[in-house]
Amino acid sequence: TSCGSLADKYIEYDPVIVLVDLVLLEKPAYRHLLYNSQFQSYWKLMLVLLLSESYRVWATYVGANELEETDGFEGERTFYILLAHTALSLGAFVLAVILGTELRWLFLGKRPRKYKTSDLVRALIVGGCAKLLGLLGLVWQHVSQEPHYALIHGYTMLCLLTAYS
Protein backbone atom coordinates (compact mmCIF):
# COMPACT_ATOMS: atom_id res chain seq x y z
CA THR A 1 0.00 0.00 0.00
CA SER A 2 1.08 3.58 -0.45
CA CYS A 3 0.57 5.42 2.81
CA GLY A 4 2.69 8.39 1.79
CA SER A 5 4.98 8.27 4.84
CA LEU A 6 8.70 7.59 4.84
CA ALA A 7 9.96 4.21 5.95
CA ASP A 8 13.31 5.76 6.96
CA LYS A 9 13.01 9.29 8.29
CA TYR A 10 16.80 9.69 8.33
CA ILE A 11 16.96 9.76 4.52
CA GLU A 12 16.06 13.45 4.68
CA TYR A 13 18.17 14.26 7.77
CA ASP A 14 21.63 15.77 8.02
CA PRO A 15 24.37 13.26 8.96
CA VAL A 16 25.02 15.20 12.17
CA ILE A 17 21.44 14.50 13.30
CA VAL A 18 21.96 10.81 12.53
CA LEU A 19 25.19 10.85 14.56
CA VAL A 20 23.45 12.49 17.53
CA ASP A 21 20.69 9.88 17.38
CA LEU A 22 23.32 7.12 17.24
CA VAL A 23 24.85 8.52 20.43
CA LEU A 24 21.35 8.59 21.97
CA LEU A 25 20.94 4.90 21.04
CA GLU A 26 18.01 5.32 18.64
CA LYS A 27 17.34 2.02 16.83
CA PRO A 28 16.10 3.70 13.62
CA ALA A 29 19.39 5.61 13.38
CA TYR A 30 21.35 2.35 13.61
CA ARG A 31 19.09 0.77 10.97
CA HIS A 32 19.58 3.76 8.70
CA LEU A 33 23.37 3.60 9.03
CA LEU A 34 23.48 -0.15 8.43
CA TYR A 35 20.97 -0.47 5.61
CA ASN A 36 20.20 2.87 3.94
CA SER A 37 23.30 5.03 4.18
CA GLN A 38 26.13 5.25 1.69
CA PHE A 39 28.74 4.43 4.37
CA GLN A 40 30.92 1.57 3.12
CA SER A 41 34.17 1.93 5.09
CA TYR A 42 33.43 -0.53 7.86
CA TRP A 43 36.88 -2.10 7.59
CA LYS A 44 38.47 1.32 8.11
CA LEU A 45 36.25 1.90 11.12
CA MET A 46 37.24 -1.49 12.50
CA LEU A 47 40.93 -0.64 12.00
CA VAL A 48 40.50 2.67 13.84
CA LEU A 49 38.73 0.85 16.69
CA LEU A 50 41.51 -1.74 16.96
CA LEU A 51 44.27 0.88 16.90
CA SER A 52 42.57 3.20 19.37
CA GLU A 53 41.73 0.47 21.88
CA SER A 54 45.26 -0.95 21.62
CA TYR A 55 46.76 2.50 22.06
CA ARG A 56 44.58 3.17 25.11
CA VAL A 57 45.67 -0.07 26.76
CA TRP A 58 49.31 0.51 25.75
CA ALA A 59 49.35 4.08 27.10
CA THR A 60 47.86 2.87 30.39
CA TYR A 61 50.47 0.10 30.56
CA VAL A 62 53.36 2.45 29.79
CA GLY A 63 52.09 4.94 32.36
CA ALA A 64 51.90 2.25 35.05
CA ASN A 65 55.21 0.54 34.15
CA GLU A 66 58.15 2.76 33.34
CA LEU A 67 59.99 1.09 30.49
CA GLU A 68 63.77 0.88 30.71
CA GLU A 69 65.71 3.15 28.38
CA THR A 70 68.04 0.33 27.34
CA ASP A 71 65.59 -1.22 24.91
CA GLY A 72 64.12 1.47 22.66
CA PHE A 73 61.80 -0.94 20.90
CA GLU A 74 60.24 -2.47 24.01
CA GLY A 75 57.34 -0.01 23.92
CA GLU A 76 56.65 -0.66 20.24
CA ARG A 77 56.81 -4.41 20.70
CA THR A 78 54.36 -4.15 23.58
CA PHE A 79 52.00 -2.08 21.43
CA TYR A 80 52.04 -4.65 18.61
CA ILE A 81 51.44 -7.48 21.06
CA LEU A 82 48.48 -5.56 22.48
CA LEU A 83 47.23 -4.86 18.94
CA ALA A 84 47.32 -8.59 18.14
CA HIS A 85 45.56 -9.33 21.44
CA THR A 86 42.86 -6.73 20.70
CA ALA A 87 42.34 -8.10 17.18
CA LEU A 88 42.05 -11.66 18.47
CA SER A 89 39.65 -10.53 21.19
CA LEU A 90 37.45 -8.72 18.68
CA GLY A 91 37.52 -11.72 16.35
CA ALA A 92 36.57 -14.09 19.17
CA PHE A 93 33.76 -11.76 20.27
CA VAL A 94 32.34 -11.48 16.74
CA LEU A 95 32.55 -15.25 16.21
CA ALA A 96 30.86 -15.89 19.57
CA VAL A 97 28.00 -13.53 18.70
CA ILE A 98 27.59 -15.10 15.25
CA LEU A 99 27.66 -18.60 16.72
CA GLY A 100 25.21 -17.65 19.48
CA THR A 101 22.86 -16.08 16.95
CA GLU A 102 23.01 -19.11 14.66
CA LEU A 103 22.41 -21.49 17.57
CA ARG A 104 19.48 -19.41 18.78
CA TRP A 105 17.87 -19.59 15.35
CA LEU A 106 18.68 -23.27 15.01
CA PHE A 107 16.84 -24.11 18.24
CA LEU A 108 14.02 -21.57 17.91
CA GLY A 109 13.63 -21.98 14.15
CA LYS A 110 12.85 -18.31 13.55
CA ARG A 111 15.66 -17.23 11.24
CA PRO A 112 14.77 -14.00 9.38
CA ARG A 113 14.64 -14.26 5.58
CA LYS A 114 16.90 -11.30 4.96
CA TYR A 115 19.56 -12.11 7.56
CA LYS A 116 23.16 -11.84 6.40
CA THR A 117 26.16 -12.48 8.60
CA SER A 118 27.89 -9.45 7.07
CA ASP A 119 25.09 -7.22 8.41
CA LEU A 120 25.65 -8.62 11.90
CA VAL A 121 29.40 -7.98 11.68
CA ARG A 122 28.79 -4.42 10.48
CA ALA A 123 26.36 -3.85 13.37
CA LEU A 124 28.96 -5.06 15.87
CA ILE A 125 31.58 -2.74 14.38
CA VAL A 126 29.25 0.26 14.57
CA GLY A 127 28.16 -0.68 18.09
CA GLY A 128 31.78 -0.90 19.20
CA CYS A 129 32.47 2.73 18.32
CA ALA A 130 31.74 3.75 21.90
CA LYS A 131 35.18 2.40 22.79
CA LEU A 132 36.62 5.50 21.14
CA LEU A 133 35.54 7.35 24.29
CA GLY A 134 38.46 5.64 26.04
CA LEU A 135 40.82 8.02 24.26
CA LEU A 136 39.25 10.90 26.16
CA GLY A 137 40.50 9.36 29.38
CA LEU A 138 44.04 9.59 28.06
CA VAL A 139 43.58 13.24 27.16
CA TRP A 140 41.97 14.21 30.47
CA GLN A 141 44.41 12.14 32.59
CA HIS A 142 41.93 10.89 35.19
CA VAL A 143 43.37 10.13 38.59
CA SER A 144 41.13 7.07 38.85
CA GLN A 145 40.49 5.55 35.43
CA GLU A 146 38.46 2.54 36.56
CA PRO A 147 35.09 4.34 36.96
CA HIS A 148 35.61 6.08 33.62
CA TYR A 149 36.29 2.81 31.81
CA ALA A 150 33.43 1.07 33.62
CA LEU A 151 31.05 3.71 32.24
CA ILE A 152 32.55 3.34 28.76
CA HIS A 153 32.15 -0.44 28.87
CA GLY A 154 28.54 -0.06 30.02
CA TYR A 155 27.76 2.41 27.24
CA THR A 156 29.54 0.19 24.71
CA MET A 157 27.38 -2.73 25.83
CA LEU A 158 24.24 -0.62 25.34
CA CYS A 159 25.45 0.41 21.87
CA LEU A 160 26.17 -3.20 20.93
CA LEU A 161 22.76 -4.35 22.18
CA THR A 162 21.03 -1.56 20.26
CA ALA A 163 22.95 -2.37 17.08
CA TYR A 164 22.31 -6.10 17.53
CA SER A 165 18.59 -5.66 18.01
Does residue 9 register a pLDDT over 70? yes
Residue 116 pLDDT grade (very low, low, confident, very high; cuts 50, 70, 90): confident
Question: 108 lies in which domain range?
Answer: 40-164
Does residue 95 register a pLDDT over 90? yes
pTM for this model (two decimals): 0.79
Q: Is residue 17 part of a domain?
A: no
Number of domains within the chain = 1
Q: Is residue 35 part of a domain?
A: no
157, HSE (Cβ side, Cα atoms, 13 Å): 6
Asked if residues 119 and 87 have their Cβ atoms less than 8 Å apart, the reply is no
Residue 1 pLDDT grade (very low, low, confident, very high; cuts 50, 70, 90): very low
13-27: pLDDT as tens digits: 777 888 888 888 888
Residue 137 pLDDT grade (very low, low, confident, very high; cuts 50, 70, 90): confident
Residue 48 pLDDT grade (very low, low, confident, very high; cuts 50, 70, 90): very high
Give me the mean pLDDT over the 87-114 stretch. Answer: 89
Give me the mean pLDDT over the 54-64 stretch. Answer: 82
CA-based nearest residue to 41, from 110, 140, 129: 129
Q: Is residue 159 part of a domain?
A: yes
Instruction: Calculate the CA 71 to chain-centre distance.
Output: 34
Q: Is residue 34 part of a domain?
A: no
Instruction: Calculate the CA 16 to chain-centre distance.
Output: 19
